[in-house]
Amino acid sequence: MQNYFASRCFLKHNLDFPPLICSVKNTEKIGAIKMIVKNFFMHLSENQLLNKAAQNYGFKLGAHSVVAGTNIEEAMGSIKELNAQGISCTIDNLGEFVHDKAEALHAKKQILGVVDAIHAHQVDAHISLKPSQLGLDIDYDFCLENIKEIVEKASAFDIFINFDMENYARLQPSFDLLEELSKDYDNIGTVIQSYFFRAEEDIQKYSKYRLRIVKGAYKEPEAVAYQTKEEIDANFIELIEYHLLNGKFTSIATHDHNVINHVKQFVIDHSIPKEKFEFQMLYGFRKEMQLELAEQGYNFCTYIPFGTDWYGYFMRRLAERPQNLNLVVKQVFTKKTNAAIGVVAGAFLLGRLTSKRF
If the CB atoms of residues 61 and 232 are measured against ligand FAD, the closer one turns out to be: 232
Task: Say if residue 190 is exposed, middle or buried (CB neighbours under 10 Å; 0-12, 13-18, 19+).
Answer: buried
User: Sign of the C-alpha dihedral, residues 268, 274, 278, 279?
Assistant: positive
Rounded to 10 degrees, what is the CA torsion of 182, 184, 187, 189? Answer: -10
- Smallest distance, ligand FAD to C-beta of residue 283, A: 9
Q: Is 253 in the site for ligand FAD (CB under 6 A)?
A: yes
Q: Is 170 in the site for ligand FAD (CB under 6 A)?
A: no
> Out of 68, 239, 263, 281, which residue is the one contacting ligand FAD (CB under 6 A)?
281
- Smallest distance, ligand FAD to C-beta of residue 212, A: 6
> Out of 198, 255, 264, 276, which residue is the one contacting ligand FAD (CB under 6 A)?
255
Q: Are 260 and 267 in contact (CB under 8 A)?
A: no
Neighbours of 299 (CB within 10 A): 18
- Smallest distance, ligand FAD to C-beta of residue 167, A: 8
Establish whether 137 is a catalytic residue: no
Burial 103-127 (b: 16+ CB within 10 A, else e): bbeebbebbbebbebbeeeebebbb
Q: Are 256 and 19 in contact (CB under 8 A)?
A: no
In the shown chain, the binding pattern of residues 150 to 169 toward ligand FAD, with x for contact by CB under 6 A and - for none, equals --------------xx----
Cα distance between residue 340 and residue 346, in whole Å? 10
Establish whether 352 is a catalytic residue: no
Q: Are 164 and 188 in contact (CB under 8 A)?
A: no
Neighbours of 2 (CB within 10 A): 9
Q: Which region among 21-29, 49-57, 171-179, 280-288 touches ligand FAD (by CB under 6 A)?
A: 280-288
- Smallest distance, ligand FAD to C-beta of residue 234, A: 12
Q: Which region among 29-37, 139-147, 249-257, 334-342 touches ligand FAD (by CB under 6 A)?
A: 249-257
Q: Which region among 69-77, 106-114, 240-248, 254-262 touches ligand FAD (by CB under 6 A)?
A: 254-262
Q: Are 243 and 232 in contact (CB under 8 A)?
A: no
Q: Is 286 in the site for ligand FAD (CB under 6 A)?
A: yes
Q: Is 191 in the site for ligand FAD (CB under 6 A)?
A: yes
> Out of 254, 290, 299, 331, which residue is the one contacting ligand FAD (CB under 6 A)?
254
Distance of CA 147 to the CA centre of its chain: 19
Report the site for ligand FAD in 320-339 (rule: CB under 6 A): 320-321
If the CB atoms of residues 219 and 344 are measured against ligand FAD, the closer one turns out to be: 219
Q: Is 147 in the site for ligand FAD (CB under 6 A)?
A: no
Cα distance between residue 310 and residue 67, in whole Å? 7
Interface contacts to ligand FAD, rule CB under 6 A: 164-165, 191, 193, 214-218, 253-256, 280-282, 285-286, 303, 320-321
Tell me which residues are annotated as active site. 164, 212
